[in-house]
Amino acid sequence: MSSDATPEPYADPLKFGQRAQILRERRGMTRTQLADLVGISPHTLKKIENGQQQAPGLEMVMRIAEALRVRDLADLTGHPDMHVDLFIGPGHPRLAAVKAAIDCFPLSATTEPPRVPHLRARLHAAWKARHQAPDHREVIGRLLPDLIRDAQALAGHSDSAAERRVAQALLAQTYSLSQFFIAYQPESSLLWRVAERGMIAAQESEDPHQIGVAAWLLAQAHRDSGPGQFEAADAVNLRAVRFLEPLLPDADDDVLAIAGALEFELGYTAARRRETGTAWQHWDMANTMAARLPADYYHPITSFSQAVMGAHAVTVAVELRQGGESVRQAARADEVTIPSRPRRARHRIEEARGYQLDGQPDVAIATLEKAYRAAPETIRYNGYARRIVLEETESKQAARRRRASALAVQIGMLAV
């Protein structure tokens, strides 16, 4: 290896600070940006990186891991016994079959395509199951391989322009469902392939709703790749918002809802940057769009609705590190039940983050237990939840430590 090559985080005798600096630079983050994200001064972070200050305690280690989106805690600590996946969950048993279906493009017209109403009904049932099942990844992972193959076959057999548009819309919807299954699993390249194929299919369909959904998911793929991709996420969201804007005066509920979901995503990314005013401004705009929807309406993919705006407010407050505000927003949001089990579990995780920020770790663990009851497969793959649980397994309070350890066993982070 050349002398000027970037060292690997695993190479000895790298210390914690050196590993943190390498991983920070690979993310394209400045020292000031990382320091702001974890709540210390750039000077303190510099001393940690330079080894002038001893490695921080577990709570700060976890904050740094969260900010750097470290997949494996051992990458940051250098301890081989700390192989804990944080933001990439365990590979689901059905991941290989889903990947095989995505990777296998039919190159001939030998496969008999399904009828459009039949495929549409199967997709509707799959989305319904995704929202209602606590083991939602298992359920849709079982359905996806056949759905993917049939949607690809239908797209390949379409003759007229109208038939092709319909088939591409169903293929885009299938890829959207696939992205929900693949997210936070150890297949980053597969996630990107699905997100990009979904956008291509949506554009081919010329369906504004499918284009909006594909943009919503593609922007999330960018944002979840780290701060270096925030601008790309914003660019995708903004293009989609501007594309849909002329349609909104006469839009149906689904198009209006996906436009609102995209508007909130702009606020979410702004909150991740700590841009308080911008974040809440986009939340307000999304809330205005939600108010135009029927009170009992829920978007079939994003769950965007009047009810979910309370959950979105919690997320914004948490990302802005406003612990007290996030707890206040959580109290308001709890007045409304979110029908989707995975979305409800995700909301509980965001609430737990708020309680943790507000110095209420016992309530945070209790809230994560609610998330587990709502949808175990959501908390099992969520890096924020895993961080809180792992941190509290080291608590000095015996009761809290036991409760966190029991939850860690349930979600597969610790062996019995």
Q: pLDDT tens digits for 136-192?
A: 999 999 999 999 999 999 998 888 999 999 999 999 999 999 999 998 888 888 999
Residue partners of 263: CB distance under 8 A and separation at least 6: 241, 282, 285, 286, 289
pLDDT at 84: 53
Whether 382 has a pLDDT exceeding 70, the answer reads yes
pLDDT at 299: 95
Rounded mean pLDDT of 72-97? 71
Whether 3 has a pLDDT exceeding 50, the answer reads no
Single-letter residue type at 11: A
The rounded mean pLDDT for the chain is: 88
Return the top range by mean pLDDT from 1-10, 46-55, 200-209: 200-209
pLDDT at 30: 87
pLDDT at 323: 85
Reported as a pLDDT band with limits 50, 70 and 90, residue 63 is confident
pLDDT at 248: 95
Residues 42 and 123 in one domain: no
The verdict on residue 192 lying in a domain is yes
In 104-207, which residue ranges form alpha helices assigned H by DSSP?
116-132, 136-157, 161-182, 188-205
Residues 292 and 330 in one domain: no
Reported as a pLDDT band with limits 50, 70 and 90, residue 210 is very high
Residues 373 and 336 in one domain: yes
Whether 256 has a pLDDT exceeding 60, the answer reads yes
The verdict on residue 222 lying in a domain is no
Whether 55 has a pLDDT exceeding 50, the answer reads yes
Whether 88 has a pLDDT exceeding 70, the answer reads no
- Tell me the residue range of the domain where 116 lies: 91-206
Answer for the pair 33, 226: CB distance below 8 angstroms, yes or no.
no
Whether 10 has a pLDDT exceeding 50, the answer reads no
- How many angstroms separate the CA atoms of 57 and 301, rounded? 40
Reported as a pLDDT band with limits 50, 70 and 90, residue 73 is confident
User: Which range (94-103, 153-162, 333-342) has the least confidence?
Assistant: 333-342
Whether 133 has a pLDDT exceeding 60, the answer reads yes
Residues 282 and 359 in one domain: no
pLDDT in tens, 17-54: 888 888 888 777 888 888 887 888 888 999 988 888 87
The verdict on residue 379 lying in a domain is yes
pLDDT at 257: 98
The verdict on residue 357 lying in a domain is yes
Q: Give the DSSP H/E element, type plus range, for residue 19.
A: helix 16-26
Q: What CATH number has the domain bearing residue 62?
A: 1.10.260.40
The verdict on residue 5 lying in a domain is no
The verdict on residue 134 lying in a domain is yes
Q: Which residue has the higher pLDDT, 90 or 259?
A: 259
Tokens of 62: 């976890």
Answer for the pair 341, 375: CB distance below 8 angstroms, yes or no.
yes
DSSP state, residue 80: T
The verdict on residue 302 lying in a domain is no
DSSP state, residue 135: T
Whether 79 has a pLDDT exceeding 70, the answer reads no
Q: Which residue has the higher pLDDT, 196 or 185?
A: 196
Single-letter residue type at 250: D
Quick one: CA torsion of 14, 16, 19, 21, rounded to 10 degrees?
Answer: -120
Residues 241 and 283 in one domain: yes
User: Which range (109-113, 203-207, 273-277, 307-311) has the least confidence?
Assistant: 109-113
With a pLDDT cut of 70, the percent of the chain lying above it is 91
Last residue of a domain, one of 242, 276, 296: 296
pLDDT at 243: 97
Q: What is the number of structural domains in the chain?
A: 4
Residues 169 and 104 in one domain: yes
Reported as a pLDDT band with limits 50, 70 and 90, residue 81 is low
Whether 231 has a pLDDT exceeding 50, the answer reads yes
Reported as a pLDDT band with limits 50, 70 and 90, residue 61 is confident
- Classify the phi-psi angles of 259: left when phi > 0, otherwise alpha if psi is within -120 to 50, otherwise beta: alpha
Whether 125 has a pLDDT exceeding 90, the answer reads yes
The verdict on residue 143 lying in a domain is yes
Residues 202 and 261 in one domain: no
Q: Which residues of 335-345 are buried (b: 16+ CB within 10 A; e: fewer)?
A: eeebebbbbbb
Residues 160 and 238 in one domain: no
Single-letter residue type at 64: I
Whether 8 has a pLDDT exceeding 50, the answer reads no
Residue partners of 288: CB distance under 8 A and separation at least 6: none
Answer for the pair 300, 254: CB distance below 8 angstroms, yes or no.
yes
Residues 332 and 382 in one domain: yes
Reported as a pLDDT band with limits 50, 70 and 90, residue 5 is very low
Whether 7 has a pLDDT exceeding 50, the answer reads no
DSSP state, residue 109: S
Q: What residues does 70 pair with on adjacent strands?
A: none
User: Which range (25-39, 187-201, 365-379) has the least confidence?
Assistant: 25-39
Residues 291 and 316 in one domain: no
pLDDT at 50: 87
Residues 180 and 116 in one domain: yes
DSSP state, residue 186: S
Reported as a pLDDT band with limits 50, 70 and 90, residue 77 is confident
pLDDT at 336: 66
Residues 280 and 246 in one domain: yes
* Diameter over CA atoms, the chain: 69
Reported as a pLDDT band with limits 50, 70 and 90, residue 352 is very high
Answer for the pair 49, 9: CB distance below 8 angstroms, yes or no.
no
Reported as a pLDDT band with limits 50, 70 and 90, residue 128 is very high
Last residue of a domain, one of 296, 316, 342: 296
